[in-house]
Chains A and B, each alone.
Chain A
Amino acid sequence: MINKQVESPAAAVADIVDGSTVMVGGFGEAGSPIELLHALIDKGPGNLTVINNNTGSGHVGLAALIENRQVSKMICSFPRTANSTVFPDLYRAGLIELELVPQGTLAERIRAGGAGIPAFFTATTIGTPLIEGKEVRTIDGRDYVLEYSLKADFALLKSHQADRYGNLTFNKTARNFAPVMAMAATTTIVQTANLVKAGDIDPEIVITPGIFVDRIVTVHDPALESKLVAEGVKYPS
């Protein structure tokens, strides 16, 4: 019988080791798998490469993982956050590397990684400093830059519903990067607020089919990043 459930966030992230590449779902706090991130802080692997649109807020979740000095490189589109100086301080001190990728190119590189497409051409960044060192080709009279796909050892994601097969639905704009990250990681780990019986998610509305998911852990009342930040919570305390 297929059953992808694991008993705890700690068990779900137990095999993430030093030097892993980890995709983390979420756009700001929407879709951020905060309990999985905190389990990764507890487990403690370092020298991680993390792929996320941002660099976290306050001193919880992704920002806390960075602040705990477990991340050596961020691949993201927007590393500035109004309420966090964690990444900027480390970056200015030369203690963390940044690969800046436009948001749409980031999403497509991840999608390509999951879809078996090694690289693609896009017009995004033509004429900007971000094409430096990249191959440019003219196709039908327009210039395009070659972008390589992105894959990861692990993806940490948050879903609204999940069943034991790993079929997923999401809540509103919390979907963001999760479906493409689920495809692009060797091991996709999902925290879900609602574990339902197989068949309870109508096949017509499954957003991520279970084939892209490896582990499901139930987190009934996931913490809200903005609430933790407003309360001044710091992880680990």
Chain B
Amino acid sequence: MNDIITGWNREQMAQRAAVDIPDGCYVNLGIGIPEKVAKYVPEGREVIYHTENGLLGMGSTPEPDKQDPELINAGKKPVSAIPGAAYFHHADSFAMIRGHHIDICVLGAMQVAENGDLANWSTGAADAIPAVGGAMDLVAGVKTIYVITQHNTRDGSAKLLKKCDFPLTGQAVVSRVYTDLAVINITRQGFEVIELAPDIEFDYVQQRTDAKLINKT
């Protein structure tokens, strides 16, 4: 029963999340798998990407000879600006976030609780250098928070829990989780599995989760 069954890979997780990004919305994507969502948004939809260091209308990574070290994303990687993009300072950028102007934020997670609590900035270890960046502002201000994460840590522990042990980034903020095994809504009743990756059984997802799952597939 402890055999690891493979569900969606990282690209497929991003692709699955991208299906749920509606036409015309303003989206902030976190570092890692969330960044990949941009390349899978279905054709015909126009989505504007916000990067909190000061750009609305972020485009793809330019060729090395077209890169500008002063045109970067929140992960400090070179990006481009689409025609129609805008630059702004940090206070305006976080007014967009805190003022509920950004529609969707897709983030990574260390832990998610069944009430939507998110922990993604610190393990709380004594020797860790605390670093939070904009994560707490994003989860407090963006209208809808999606998480993309592996269902379990590398050592097999659950990341979806009744209650997070790590220090929180925000309280009851996550509305949906995309993992390698399933798509899971967070509702007043708790974790509701709405879709399973190919060849993944509900019972297997339940075994790998430290909270009760409700089967809505």
Interfacial residues, chain A to chain B (CB-CB below 8 A): 27-31, 77-80, 87-88, 91-92, 98, 100, 102-108, 110-111, 122-130, 170-180, 207, 224-226
A77 touches B131 (CB 8 A): yes
- Chain B residues contacting A224 (CB-CB under 8 Å) are 69
Cα(A105)–Cα(B52), bound, Å: 13
A180 touches B169 (CB 8 A): no
Instruction: Knowing A88-B129, A107-B93, say if A30 contacts B136 (CB, 8 Å).
Output: no
Q: Does B76 contact A (CB under 8 A)?
A: yes
- Chain B residues contacting A31 (CB-CB under 8 Å) are 70
- If over half of A's interface residues share one DSSP class (helix, strand or loop), that class is named, otherwise mixed; here it is mixed
Cα(A102)–Cα(B136), bound, Å: 6
> Per a CB cutoff under 8 Å, which of A79, A127, A226 touches B69?
A226
A78 touches B89 (CB 8 A): no
Contact pattern, B 130-145, Cβ under 8 Å of A = 1, otherwise 0: 1111111100110000
Which interface residue of A103, A123, A130, A226 has the most chain B CB atoms within 10 A? A103
21 residue pairs A–B, Cβ–Cβ below 8 Å: A27-B54, A28-B72, A30-B72, A78-B131, A80-B129, A103-B94, A103-B133, A104-B98, A124-B136, A124-B137, A124-B141, A127-B170, A127-B171, A128-B171, A172-B71, A174-B70, A176-B54, A176-B89, A177-B89, A178-B89, A180-B90
- Nearest CB on A from B105, distance (A): 12
Instruction: Knowing A78-B132, A180-B91, say if A92 contacts B70 (CB, 8 Å).
Output: no
B132 touches A175 (CB 8 A): no
Cα(A88)–Cα(B128), bound, Å: 9
A176 touches B53 (CB 8 A): yes
Cα(A91)–Cα(B130), bound, Å: 10
A124 touches B140 (CB 8 A): yes
Q: Does B97 contact A (CB under 8 A)?
A: yes
Cα(A79)–Cα(B121), bound, Å: 12
Contact pattern, B 66-95, Cβ under 8 Å of A = 1, otherwise 0: 001111100010000100000111110110
> 4 other contacts beyond A80-B129, A103-B134, with CB at 8 A cut-off?
A107-B89, A128-B171, A172-B70, A207-B89
Instruction: Knowing A104-B94, A173-B55, say if A128 contacts B81 (CB, 8 Å).
Output: no
B98 touches A129 (CB 8 A): no
Q: Does B117 contact A (CB under 8 A)?
A: yes
A123 touches B140 (CB 8 A): yes
> Per a CB cutoff under 8 Å, which of B129, B135, B137 touches A79?
B129
> Per a CB cutoff under 8 Å, which of B70, B129, B136 touches A91?
B129
- Chain B residues contacting A106 (CB-CB under 8 Å) are 90
Closest 5 CB pairs of A and B: A127-B171, A104-B94, A104-B137, A107-B90, A174-B70
Which residues of chain B from 140 to 187 have a CB within 8 Å of any chain A CB? Answer: 140-141, 167-172
- Chain B residues contacting A28 (CB-CB under 8 Å) are 72, 76
A110 touches B91 (CB 8 A): yes
Instruction: Knowing A88-B129, A124-B137, A128-B169, say if A173 contacts B72 (CB, 8 Å).
Output: yes
